[in-house]
Chains A and B, each alone.
Chain A
Amino acid sequence: MRPRWHKVFRDLRSSPARTIMVVISIAIGVFAFGAILAARTIIVEQLHTSFMAINPASGTITTDAFDDDLVDAVRRVPGVAQAQGVRAVSARIATGPQQWQDTKLFVLPDDGVREIGFVKPWRGAWPPPKNALLIERSSLGKTKAAVGDTVRIEISGQDARDIPIAGLTYDLSVPPAVIAGQADGYLTFDTLVWLGGPRSYNQLQFVVSTGRTDVAHIQAVADEIGRLIERSGRTVINTDVPTPPLQHPAEVILPTVLFILTTLGFLSLLISGFLIINTISAILTQQTRQIGIMKAIGARADQITGLYFALSAGFGVLALLFAVPLGVLGAYGMTRFMCDQLNVDIENFRFPLGVLGLQILAALFVPMLTAAIPIRSVVNRPAREALSGETSAPPEHSPIDRLLGRFAGISRPTRLALRNTFRRRGRLVRTLIALALGGGVFITVMTLRVSLFSTLDESIASQRYDVEVQFSRSYRDILANQSVLGVPGVVSVESLLRNTAFPVYADGTNGEGLSLRAMPANTNMFAPRMTNGRWLLPTDGRTVVLTTNYLSKAPTARVGDEMTLQINGNDYTWQIVGFIEEMIPPTSPAWAYVTIDAYTQALGGMGRTDTLRVATVGHDATSHAAASMALEQRLTADGFALRLIHTRTEDRNILTERFNILTGVLTIMSLIIGTVGGLGLAGTMSINVLERTREIGVMRAIGASDEAVQQIVLSEGLMIGVIAWLIGTIISIPMSIGMCYAFGMALLNTPLSWIYSISGVILWLGIVLLIASVASILPARSASRLTVREVLAYE
């Protein structure tokens, strides 16, 4: 090997602490970037592969009750490869005394084998035994039961029965329990009939024989099936063709989360870049004279450049040794975490070679590219300057010095520390950028968290009821109200009617069903947060107010537009008068609000109700639980068939669970970025001390104590930390505003209410001071331990 390459190797080994610092800086950046990118690749691929493996339906048509004859007829429709009937029933499972979990029951064939949307056995019995239930594995926790336990179940409008949980299933066609907030159960038709349900299908699923990704083709086949259904005398209630086809329901929210994580991954790599510039600059500064010697003995600028590029790449190679295995572990952890949340199994975890290639490129080229700036500046310095060891212009009397001069009370060592802070401006700026970005991201994530929960609270607060009671059928509202008002603690009650409405588009096709609520225009139980238009008026005719997430499905919808809604099989035209914010994930249907008068005029049901909103004296979790129990007892005793009772506390808990996952991941990422920033500060402090070794020696020679030397170094570190905190705080404002907007729009179709996290700012100040202290203590101690003889001999 040529001697020059020996120099590169020895330079890497000559200062282990410095090498470790740079290697950790690069490794963390490359690790975070690689882990996120790999997790992203694996999750997207795994989700797609797993979803394809269940043979997802090309479309689902909801219609009146039907049997296998219709399914057989649909199978013969040109373009249909497979068809099956499905029965889905709303139910609830008791999770405690008067506490229920909203549950959806699906009927499986007696042998458990579906043609479309395969449900796999997971644990325990298979297929579903007679008079027993299987639970989807991700939702078992929601039932608060275990396999083998007997639970009390009640399907809409029927008596509750005890049923054993005989096993678990794995069903990727349903949204994960953590997102949907409901449990999913599986049983046979015999069991459903035993529970009081019907022995018929209500949904028809089909798979097209060709063009499974062609929406227009699928829609044409669906239309053909629809015509067949109508010829059989049934009504097509809804046709759902997923757009884009073959996409898992959770894939809608995945890009946003992954985009944010990827951005954070790149950010950590960028911060690493700043640290590399600092370190390479410091190395070059230390070796300025060596560069001069090499020039003097015949080295060309490109040869010297090559040496330092090789050194930078050497740091990268060492960093790869840590970053790659850590990246694999991190990717596995993140993939596992995300897949658990999405209810997807990691069937074949293989770190993507493409990401490994990117990690290698990043580890080698980011240090080389970032180092190019200081290398160029030093290598191009004239040989005479390099030989003389001149590293920068001599210090001048700067404005900082003049400013410091005005404060007579500042001690000399502190004054020196403050002056030192601003001595190497380029290095200071890069350290500040690294640390401030870390702080900015940390405060942004904290703000995002506060804003998410604040928006959640606003949304919950806009619902001014405490408990919502849903009946299995409609009752006379006067009777229902009387029963509820007799419950102690109930302050008021309001009657609603609920339904599902399907938007009918210009081409005659139906959109995804909307949850329709018909309520009094001058409701006391709801304080709508308007984003556009107005709320319903008592004088309104057929007007409708929609939740903003409807715009993700029909982006051109505007206030003033007319829309046709198919309700109970008939089309009605309504005018959109407003849009309101509601905390509804994009995977959930949009909500449509109409006046109960206009609704009953169009569809009948005057003086009846199937949903009650109840306000109680207490508004806390305990009061809600007590009210829910009392209402259940009273209404059941009075003969009302309940479908569901849920409180605002429960609604909040479901959303909180979702948000905690997101903010948890983001907090981990922000801490990683903060760590990289902290390493940057530690690196800068070590470099500063190293460069000023001679100066420290002089100070000690003229009587500076250990404490004075340590005070200078510590003060400098703390000063940088405080400035970085200040900048981080300032940049976190636009960052968090942007993040709250993007996050809200992507996840909830409405920007989050931006609430700046003051506690985040204070917490980051604490963290940054801790980082600065830790980062400065070691260099400060080594500075104070140097003997005058060692220091003055330092070359």
Chain B
Amino acid sequence: MTVSSTSEALISLDNVVKEYETAAGAYVALRGINLRIDRGEFVAIVGKSGSGKSTLINMITGIDRSTSGVVRVAGVDLGRLSEGKLAVWRGRTIGIIFQFFQLLPTLTVAENVMLPMDFCNIGTARERRARAAALLERMDLSEQADKLPAALSGGQQQRVAIARALANDPPLLVADEPTGNLDSRTADSIFHLFEQLAEQGKTVVMVTHDNDLSSRAGRAVVVADGQIVNSPAHAPAA
């Protein structure tokens, strides 16, 4: 729970504001967020529903753009990238895991894992197959490789999603409530996977509203009303 120096930070958000235009008028989701996350950190972002935590990780993944402020991830100012370049950058730099797994229903488990490598043109077909097989083995899912996602349990699907996130060997994993749709035992095993990945050097940013799980992360960032309320990391950058 420390502010890291800019040179070491994998993620840095400076005065990030996000406003949405709605039928009811402008809605401010993030109000001047400042945040640093170092390489290899395991950070849990916690907060109530509607607090702005998902918006915050959308800023980090480049899925959404800030209204003002600067978002830098792995040395790249995301605001300066076009949508196309952002997609390629994201594919190589970030592995994203969603609450509802979001596997493509018409692709097999192995194909889902190979898809990011396909889009980012990483490796040959043989190499992609081999990597997907290795990742699925690591997730203990080798036997499910040729099944469609619908044939898997929730926990298995989430492990496939993690394998997919790891496909391009990104330095950063971002998970949006990855255990929110799982029973407590499965959630625990999934969380344990994230812990292992962080230990292996991956930077993990996880949104959760489970206080028990967040306490197991290296650092918890609490978001309320679009602001970071618990961490000195919201102080302006030096």
- A interface residues (Cβ-Cβ under 8 A, vs B): 2-4, 6-7, 10-11, 14, 289-290, 293-303, 380, 382-384, 387, 394, 795
Contacts and interface: CB of A to CB of B under 8 A. Distances in A.
Interface string B109-138: 001101110111000010000000000000
B90 A298 contact: yes
B61 A3 contact: no
A254 to B, nearest CB: 50
Contacts of B88: 298, 300
Interface stretch (B38-46, B99-107, B200-208): B99-107
Given A4-B119, A382-B83, A387-B102, 9 more contacts: A2-B118, A3-B107, A4-B115, A289-B102, A296-B102, A297-B90, A298-B90, A298-B168, A300-B84
A180 to B, nearest CB: 63
Nearest to B87: A300
B12 to A, nearest CB: 21
Nearest to B96: A296
Given A3-B114, A296-B90, A298-B88, A303 B61 contact: no
B120 A298 contact: yes
B155 interface: no
B119 A297 contact: yes
A589 B62 CA distance: 79
A10 B116 contact: no
A795 B98 CA distance: 15
B64 interface: yes
A384 B83 CA distance: 12
Interface of B: 23, 58, 61-65, 83-84, 87-88, 90-92, 95-96, 98, 100, 102, 104-108, 111-112, 114-116, 118-120, 125, 164-165, 167-168
A294 B115 contact: yes
A297 B96 contact: yes
Task: Rank and list the top 4 A-B pairs by shortest CB-CB distance, nearest first.
Answer: A298-B91, A10-B106, A3-B111, A384-B64
A1 to B, nearest CB: 8
Contacts of A380: 83
A298 B83 contact: no
A6 B119 contact: no
Give the most central of B23, B62, B107: most A CB within 10 Å: B107
B164 A297 contact: yes
A301 B84 contact: yes
Given A300-B84, A300-B88, A290 B119 contact: no
Contacts of B120: 298
A297 B115 contact: yes
A296 B118 CA distance: 14
A299 B102 contact: no
Contacts of A295: 63, 87, 90
A111 to B, nearest CB: 74
26 contacts: A3-B107, A3-B111, A3-B118, A7-B111, A7-B115, A11-B106, A289-B102, A290-B104, A293-B98, A293-B104, A294-B104, A296-B96, A297-B91, A297-B95, A298-B90, A300-B84, A300-B87, A300-B119, A301-B83, A382-B64, A383-B64, A383-B83, A383-B87, A384-B64, A387-B98, A795-B100
Contacts of B92: 298
A296 B115 CA distance: 11
Contacts of A298: 87-88, 90-92, 116, 119-120, 168
Contacts of B64: 382-384
B51 to A, nearest CB: 17
A729 B13 CA distance: 62
A294 B64 CA distance: 15
Nearest to B100: A795
Nearest to A296: B96
Contacts of A3: 107, 111-112, 114-115, 118
Contacts of B61: 296
Contacts of A303: 119
Contact of A384 (B63, B95, B105): B63
Given A298-B87, A298-B90, A293 B118 contact: no
Given A2-B125, A383-B64, A299 B107 contact: no
Contact of A6 (B62, B65, B107): B107
A693 to B, nearest CB: 15
A289 B102 CA distance: 8
Contacts of A384: 58, 63-64
A298 to B, nearest CB: 2
B106 A14 contact: yes
B49 to A, nearest CB: 15
B201 to A, nearest CB: 21
B78 to A, nearest CB: 12
Give the most central of A11, A293, A295, A296: most B CB within 10 Å: A296
Contact of B107 (A10, A383, A795): A10
B151 to A, nearest CB: 14
Nearest to A295: B87
A4 B63 contact: no
A774 B204 CA distance: 55
Contacts of B100: 795
B50 to A, nearest CB: 14
B63 A296 contact: yes
Contacts of A300: 84, 87-88, 119
A2 B108 CA distance: 12
A294 B119 contact: yes
A301 B125 contact: no
Contact of B102 (A2, A293, A301, A394): A293
B24 to A, nearest CB: 12
Contacts of B104: 7, 290, 293-294
A382 B65 CA distance: 9
A2 B111 CA distance: 8
A641 B234 CA distance: 119
Nearest to A1: B125
Contact of A4 (B105, B108, B118, B164): B118
A7 B83 contact: no
A517 B102 CA distance: 86
A14 B65 CA distance: 34
A294 B90 CA distance: 11
A380 B83 CA distance: 9
Contacts of A382: 63-65, 83
A299 B122 CA distance: 12
Contacts of A4: 115, 118-119
Contacts of B84: 300-302
A621 B18 CA distance: 87
B14 to A, nearest CB: 21
A299 B89 CA distance: 10
Nearest to A394: B23
B208 to A, nearest CB: 18
Contact of A7 (B87, B107, B125): B107
A380 B95 CA distance: 22
Contacts of B102: 289-290, 293, 296, 387
B221 to A, nearest CB: 20
A301 B115 contact: no
B106 to A, nearest CB: 3
A305 to B, nearest CB: 11
Given A3-B118, A294-B119, A387-B63, A299 B87 contact: yes
